[in-house]
Each structure stands twice: as structure tokens, then as C-alpha cells.
Amino acid sequence: MAFPSAPSALWSVSLLTVLLAAVVHSNIVYDEDPLQPVTSDETVSVGGTVTLTCRVAESDNSSLQWSNTAQQTLYFGEKRALRDTRIQLHRSTSTELSITIAEVQLSDEGEYTCSIFTMPVRTARATVTVLGVPGKPQISGFENPVTEGGEVTLTCTSTGSKPPAKLHWYRGDQELEGRPNVVESNPDDPTYNVSSELTLEVSRDDDNALITCAVDHPSLEPGDKRSEQSLRVLYSPKVSIRPESDLPREGEKFHLQCLGNSNPEPTSYTWEKEGGLPPLAKVDGAFLRFERLNKSDNGVYLCRAENDIGQDQGEYPLQVQAAENTADPTAMSTSSRVDHAVIGGVVAVIVFILLCLLIVLGRYLIRHKGTYLTHEAKGSDDAPDADTAIINAEGGHSGAEDKKEYFI
């Protein structure tokens, strides 16, 4: 007996849930007294529009009325009572009086009252909370480029929020830890000014990095209000040397380029080589130029670059290759002979493998054709009963023979 009752209990619970959900969803919960007006609290941002709704479950045709925070009547039924064009009638029926307030100001915040002139008069209150929309954040504190290893302190401020906004710092997608938000208030201003400081020790990687300050506030969607500050960092050279080609050959025109990788660009470059630069190598700022490479140019080249921040040097070991067609015929032919021998060997192996495959394939095809022809006489391999199994046992001899031949 307990079994069938369980689903029905479950059913009534779920029905109750649906009903409750419907009541909660309508945002208005009717009181037991059907003439008691019902309202709801509202939150609106400065400049927005709020709708105040007052409903009764049943009506005895008594008029509904909305009054403002100063107890001034706004609407009495369909009749406008206050000369304020921001306030408009939204809906008036025997059971509902809804009004809208547009271009909401901070001074509109407070408790509004809905009354129904029954005997006695019944009232309900609705609290309107007005959010002060924070201003676009402003980042200050960065004017001039900073030398690597130095510190930068940025300040982000946002005015006019209510409740106080929260400020967050980011470098790209990564959140940075700023100092706790400082909230400023003022007795004659219901809004708050919020600020946050961020101190960064900058490295060369921070040059052109974007630092973002974003405002987090209930009146905003995430990412609505943010400001960016790009950093400029001065850093010393980190020299690398780039050859014109990776295989410099004797007799060719060639150059080495000294890359400073600094900010600002190096003010000077110095080229050196152990035992002195070759007389025909020409220094041209960041470039060292060779009109006609010669094996006597081989050696380790050194470039030193300098800017106002510091200096660095890099090395490049130059190894001039023999010219492509003119130089050293013995070396050339030896290497090509080796190449030919290797290619010939590979070709021979491939031909050998192909031949073997052809022989095996030929034999297999001949065998396979033989098996196919004798298959009917031999009978089925899968014996469905004892008689055929005996037949198969007799035929098993020839099957084994076939297998043996496949492996040749």
C-alpha cells in the first residue's frame, strides 16, 4: 500500500513547487487580505527608468494611489497629481496602478507608498534604490618612459558610484594586485569616489605593455568601463649578430648586422675581431660589410652596442665556405662521388626488395588459384555436424599442405 502512494505524494509536492515558482516568479506575493495592495522594491541606475507596480487581488472599485518619498501624491487612479513629466501612468485597472519614473536621479531614492481608499485605508511601501553609475576610470602617474628595474606607480580613480565601485588592475588578461581601494565620501554627496594604486617594477618585457583599470559595479556589465595605459620602458642593449646568409661563400659579397635589441636604439656600435678586422671589411654603423669574402676573413667577430642605459656585446664565428664552382675540385668530386655511391646503394636495395615481392606475389597467386579450384571438392571448413567433421579431418591433410606452401 505504501508503494502506490509514494508517486502521488511526489506529484503533489512537485505541483506545489510549480505553484510556488509561479507566485515567486510574478515577483508579487498576495496577502491573505484580498484588498491589501502589494508592491515590490526596485533598484535602478541614475538616468534609468523604474516602474512601480501596485496590485490588489480583488477590487471593490476603490481608487489606488501612488505617493512619493515626500508623501506627495503622484497618481490617484488615472489622475496625475504632481507636475513632473518624468512620472507617467503605465497601467490603471480596478486591480492595478503602475507608474514609471524616467531619468531617475539620486534624489528619487526612498520609500514610495501605494494606498487603496477602502475603509480603513490600506497601504504598501516600495523602496527604490538608486545606483550611482561610476564614471570612466582615469589612470594617472605615468608621464615619461621608465628605465628597466625602476618602479611605476599608477593611480586609477572613478567618481560618482553608489554603492562604492571596486577597481581591478590587469596586465593583458592577467589580474594584478593593487593596493586596497580607497573610498572617498563627502557629506553633501551621496556618491563615492574610489581610487586604487598599483606599483610595478618594470622590465624590458613591459615596454608597450597595456595596463588596464576596470570598474566593477552592480550598475555595469563586466568590462563596460575600463581604461588602458601603455608603459614605455628604456632598456640597455642585448646584442645579437645576424649574418646576411648562413652559408657565406668565398668570393661573395656579405655583411654582418649587429642587433642592439634596446630602447632607445644604440647610439654607437663597435666592431672588433681577434687579431684585428680584415683590411677590406668596412664598418658601417650596425653593419660590417665584406665586398668579397675570403677564407682569411674567418674568425670570431665581436660587436659592442651602447645606449644611454648601458652596453652589451655579442659574438659571431665567421666560417667562410669554399666557393661553389671555382675552388678545390678534389673536395667537390669526392663529396659528389660519395653522394652517388649512397644513391646507387639505396636504388639497388629498393630494386632487390621489389623483385622479392614480385616473386612472392607470383607464387601466392598461382597457389591461390589452385586452392580455389580444389575448394569445392574439399568441402566446407566449418563442420556443422559430425559427418562433415570427419570429411574435414580427411581433407585436413591437403589444407596443411597449402599452408606450408604459403610460407615458402
Ligand X SMILES: *[C@@H]1O[C@H](CO)[C@@H](O)[C@H](O)[C@H]1NC(C)=O
**Site of interaction with ligand X (CB under 6 A):** 60-61, 159, 184-186, 189, 192-193, 250-251, 292, 294, 296
For ligand X, the closer of residues 50 and 156 by Cβ is 156
Burial class (CB in 10 A: 0-12, 13-18, 19+), 239: buried
For ligand X, the closer of residues 28 and 194 by Cβ is 194
Nearest distance from C-beta of residue 24 to ligand X, angstroms: 29
The helix (run of H) or strand (run of E) holding residue 42 is: strand 42-45
In this structure, what C-alpha cell is assigned to residue 251?
668570393
Nearest distance from C-beta of residue 183 to ligand X, angstroms: 9
Nearest distance from C-beta of residue 197 to ligand X, angstroms: 17
Nearest distance from C-beta of residue 193 to ligand X, angstroms: 4
Nearest distance from C-beta of residue 41 to ligand X, angstroms: 26
Helix (H, G, I), strand (E, B) or coil at 397: helix
Could you give the CA distance from residue 99 to residue 75 in angstroms, rounded to a whole number? Answer: 8
Residue 393 CB: number of other CB atoms within 10 A?
Answer: 10
Could you give the CA distance from residue 198 to residue 237 in angstroms, rounded to a whole number? Answer: 28
In this structure, what C-alpha cell is assigned to residue 154?
599608477
The conformation of residue 240, written as its DSSP 8-state character, comes to: E
Could you give the CA distance from residue 242 to residue 237 in angstroms, rounded to a whole number? Answer: 15
Nearest distance from C-beta of residue 74 to ligand X, angstroms: 24
For ligand X, the closer of residues 5 and 186 by Cβ is 186
For ligand X, the closer of residues 38 and 194 by Cβ is 194
Helix (H, G, I), strand (E, B) or coil at 18: helix
Q: What is the 3-state secondary structure (H, E, C) of 94-158?
A: CCEEEEEECCCCHHHCEEEEEEECCCCCEEEEEEEEEEECCCCCEEECCCCCEECCCEEEEEEEE
For ligand X, the closer of residues 12 and 319 by Cβ is 319
The helix (run of H) or strand (run of E) holding residue 352 is: helix 329-378
For ligand X, the closer of residues 163 and 251 by Cβ is 251
Cα-trace Rg, the chain: 46
Nearest to 142 by CA among 183, 182, 180, 199: 199
Nearest distance from C-beta of residue 138 to ligand X, angstroms: 9
Nearest distance from C-beta of residue 296 to ligand X, angstroms: 5
**Cβ distance 113 to 99 under 8 Å?**
no
Nearest distance from C-beta of residue 292 to ligand X, angstroms: 6
Half-sphere exposure of 99 (CA within 13 A, CB side): 26
For ligand X, the closer of residues 72 and 294 by Cβ is 294
For ligand X, the closer of residues 56 and 256 by Cβ is 56
Nearest distance from C-beta of residue 214 to ligand X, angstroms: 19
Nearest distance from C-beta of residue 77 to ligand X, angstroms: 12
Nearest to 392 by CA among 401, 380, 402, 384: 380
For ligand X, the closer of residues 113 and 161 by Cβ is 161
For ligand X, the closer of residues 174 and 186 by Cβ is 186
Could you give the CA distance from residue 40 to residue 101 in angstroms, rounded to a whole number? Answer: 15
Could you give the CA distance from residue 68 to residue 80 in angstroms, rounded to a whole number? Answer: 13
For ligand X, the closer of residues 85 and 186 by Cβ is 186
Burial class (CB in 10 A: 0-12, 13-18, 19+), 160: middle
